[in-house]
Chain A
Amino acid sequence: DENLPSVPKGTDDFIPTQLAAAGRFENEENLYALPYDCPTMIWMYRKDLFDKHGEKMSQDLGFDQTPSPELTWEQYYQIANWFNENQDEVPYGTGHQARQYDSLMCDFSNILWSYGGDYFHEPKVGSLGTAEPGPCTLDEQEALEAAEFYKKLLSIAHPGSVSWDWNATDEAFRTGQIAMAPNWHEFAAVDQDPAESTIVGKIGYSPLPKGPVRNANMWGGTGVGINGASPINEQKAAWLFLVWATSPDTMLMGLKSDVGGGTPTRGSLYELPEVKKAMEPPTNLPNLLTYDAVSEAWRPENIGLRPKIQSWNECDTAIYTEVSKMLAGQKTPEQAMKTAKKYFDEAQARVENLASRPSGVA
């Protein structure tokens, strides 16, 4: 790293929660990767329908239904149910990415965290990650309550939810099948594209509802790192790419891309006059319409970060399989959470066991 360019504006320009989650591991000292993208789950809703039925809804429901992080998941459920029973512009109130897939883990985690549950007790497991997270905590009361609520919520959701991943959920939203959904914010670009969507200009964005304990918005971002096992010249070339890919100019270019593009992971870009202006409709950068919602979601107290542990792929599969079994009626919420915990602990025990053994390189 002698003659090579340094990161423009330094690493402090990156949004802190994202820098930690994408770039650090185990401690604050070392930085392994720079945040590249930042899809985050927020509450997307049909503003036109909320405006149209607003008065009657708040009379029927007994609270102000305008989406905000101050509403609870229980109220989200009631709003969804209201849509199911009281109007015919959309077939269902809510839709979810509840296919037996990674998307189901994302959707369920929002609720798990907001109910005060988590996968592990270790508080840094999501932001910095750890090699030894300790025993899985999915069998605790908060997690069971979250699972019970999730089952209840899905029972009134669009029945297609159980076979939808994130793409299919957004497709249902932008083709007028559902009135609202916990959805990835970068889908705003395609939802506001007249060639793809029937609801252009009719969408509102808010952070997700809160649970009894907190507000949690699943962050699905990634970072670009360099493989330390590759030859030194390639590492240098990778550094050049990394600096370029995460630079302010490149991010601005991505934001302006015709095909939607990502949203920046750097705070300074959101201060640019042209970017600020684009946060209000009419805009040519529709992803920015979500900025108020995502900037709330990215605060340390609101961001939802999945565990950074070595056995995560296996644990991820375990949790979405068990939640899927719960939704399919094969298991009670309690059975599902307890089985998931068992598989988490087994998977983690295997990798920790492996790490403690000396191994020969073939």
Chain B
Amino acid sequence: MAATQERSSSATKGANGGGGISLETKMLVPVLALLAVLSLFPFFYIIWMSLNIVSLINGISFDFAGLANWTRMFTDEVVGAAWARAALYFVATVGLEMILGIAIALLVHELVWGKNLVLSLILLPMFMAPVIVGLLGRFLTDSSYGLYAYVLRELGIFESDILGTASSALPAVILMDVWEWTPLIVLIVLAGLASVNQYVIEAAKVDGAGYLERLRYIVAPSIAGVVIVALLVRSMDAIRYFDIITVTTNGGPGNTTKIIPIRLYETAFRFFDLGYAAAIGLGMLVFSILVANVFVRILESRGLAR
């Protein structure tokens, strides 16, 4: 939601130009009003829910509870542990995806022939529904017939059940997400690389700059903007990551993969504790906004926000 607001506010600013309301802005008003209703009403409703004990028996009912849900959230060790795990998960997936994505993009960019074919193959995972990626991962790591489980077992590296063992379950679901979304980073970074000024590169070559020097002083500054955009997009996704874990481990074993969105789902749709779930959801929203703000500020400080 933060991202949509950001985009729509910059759009209105752009349309405004100088003083007075332009025709474009007037034409945008109906759709902006609709957007506001669609996002603001649920937003205030969920804040109200978070201040109540919400019951669904005999129709929805609210029982004002003040800050009870909020104090519970800050003292709930299960939710706290889920947040800590989500942070670990967030750093690991986004970090790995960025490193691999940039590395693969640099390699693909250097290809002389077959670039399109290689790129198409690399992008394939991105076009699968996350649920399917999860099911595929579950299939490949199954201890009876899974290919990965078989290879790891035959090599003597890992003999237990991959998704059923506390030490391996979280790395496994992280790698599934990395497998699916690294291609997106590759795609975005490649777009950045294509826009690097070739004359500058040529000139640097003539001046005797090696590959690493060119990477550091010319390529890196040119693609920094798109990299941060890629980081922003993946971060927003990682915070609400849900699909793969639901179909693979469901938070187990022993809660080792229960990140905050899974706990939120349980609270809302298994326990039907909707007031408390609203508080947890708002907590996630606040975190998303903070993360997004950090990235947007970095972009602005580099003069890249527009």
A residues apposed to B, CB below 8 Å: 98-101, 158-164, 168, 172, 175, 177, 229, 311, 313-314, 317, 321, 324-331, 347, 350, 354, 357, 359-362
Contact A99-B164, Cβ < 8 Å, known A229-B58, A229-B59, A330-B254: yes
Is there contact, CB below 8 Å, between A313 and B61?
no
Interface residues of B (CB under 8 A from A): 53, 55, 58-63, 142-144, 159-166, 249-256, 266, 270-273
5 nearest A-B residue pairs (beta carbon): A100-B252, A162-B164, A163-B164, A325-B254, A328-B254
User: CB distance A163 to B249 under 8 Å?
Assistant: yes
Indicate if the CB atoms of A162 and B161 lie closer than 8 Å: yes
A359 engages B62 (CB within 8 Å): yes
- CB-based contact A163/B253 at 8 Å: yes
Q: Are A361 and B255 in contact (CB under 8 A)?
A: no
Evaluate contact between B165 and A100: CB separation under 8 angstroms: no
Partner of B60, one of A100, A162, A321, A362: A362
B210 to nearest A CB, angstroms? 49
Interface centre among A99, A326, A331, by most chain B C-beta atoms within 10 angstroms, is A99
Distance between Cα atoms of A268 and B73 in the complex (Å): 53
Q: In whole Å, how far is B148's beta carbon from the nearest beta carbon of chain A?
A: 13
CB pair B252–A159 under 8 Å, yes or no, is: no
| Structural contact, B251 and A328, CB atoms closer than 8 A | no
Please measure, in the bound complex, the distance between the C-alpha atom of A164 and the C-alpha atom of B55, giving whole angstroms.
33
Q: A324: which of B58, B142, B254, B273 is its contact (CB, 8 Å)?
A: B254
Distance in Å: Cβ of A190 to nearest Cβ of chain B:
17
Supposing A160-B164, A163-B163, A361-B61 touch, asked if A317 and B254 sit within 8 A by C-beta, the answer is no
Interface SS majority for chain B: loop
Q: Which residue of B lies closest to A168 (CB)?
A: B142
Q: Which residues of A contact B164 (CB under 8 A)?
A: 98-99, 159-164
What CA separation (Å) do A26 and B159 show in the bound complex? 49
Min C-beta distance of B164 to chain A, whole Å: 3
Task: Select the residue from A160, A161, A321, A330 with max chain B CB neighbours within 10 A.
Answer: A160
Indicate whether A321 sits within 8 Å of B255 (C-beta atoms), given known contacts A314-B271, A329-B166, A354-B53. yes
Which residues of chain A are within 8 angstroms of B251 by Cβ–Cβ distance?
Answer: 100, 321
Contact A361/B144 with A159-B161, A162-B161, A314-B271 known, Cβ cut-off 8 Å: no
Closest A residue to B76 using CB positions: A346
Q: Assuming A160-B144, A317-B266, A354-B53, is B255 touching A100 (CB within 8 A)?
A: yes
Between B59, B63, B143, B253, the greatest number of chain A beta carbons within 10 A of the residue's beta carbon is seen for: B253
Q: What are 6 inter-chain pairs, A to B, with CB distance below 8 A?
A: A98-B164, A163-B143, A172-B144, A175-B144, A328-B254, A357-B53
**Shortest beta-carbon distance, B250 to chain A, in Å?**
6
Chain B residue at smallest Cβ distance from A354: B53
Name the distance in Å between A306's Cβ and chain B's nearest Cβ.
Answer: 15
Question: Which listed residue, A98, A177, A311, A354, touches B63 by the CB 8 Å rule?
Answer: A354
Q: Is the CB of B62 within 8 A of A325?
A: no
**Bound complex: CA of A309 vs CA of B165, how far in Å?**
32
| Beta-carbon contact of A324 and B61 below 8 Å | no
Contact A354 B55 (CB under 8 A): yes
Does A321 lie within 8 Å of B252, measured CB to CB? yes
A310 to B166, CA, bound (A): 31
* A101, B55: Cβ atoms closer than 8 Å: no
Residues in B with CB closer than 8 Å to A327 are 253-254
**Distance, CA A354 to CA B144, complexed state (A):** 47
A359 and B55 within 8 A (CB): yes
Tell me, in angstroms, the Cα distance from A229 to B142 when the chains sit together.
Answer: 45
- A99 adjacent to B252 (CB under 8 Å): yes
For the complex formed, measure the closest distance between the CB of B292 and the CB atoms of chain A, giving whole angstroms. Answer: 31
Chain A residues near B61 (CB-CB < 8 A):
359-362
Q: Which interface residue of B63, B159, B164 has the most chain A CB atoms within 10 A?
A: B164
Give the Cβ gap from B170 to chain A, nearest Cβ, in Å.
Answer: 12
Besides A162-B164, A328-B254, 8 new A-B residue pairs in contact (Cβ under 8 A), listed by A number: A160-B164, A162-B165, A313-B271, A313-B272, A314-B273, A330-B254, A359-B53, A360-B61
A101-B250, A229-B58, A359-B63 known; A159 and B160 CB under 8 Å? Answer: yes
A186 CB to nearest chain B CB (Å)? 22
Chain B: CB-nearest residue to A104: B252
Smallest CB separation, B300 vs chain A (Å): 42
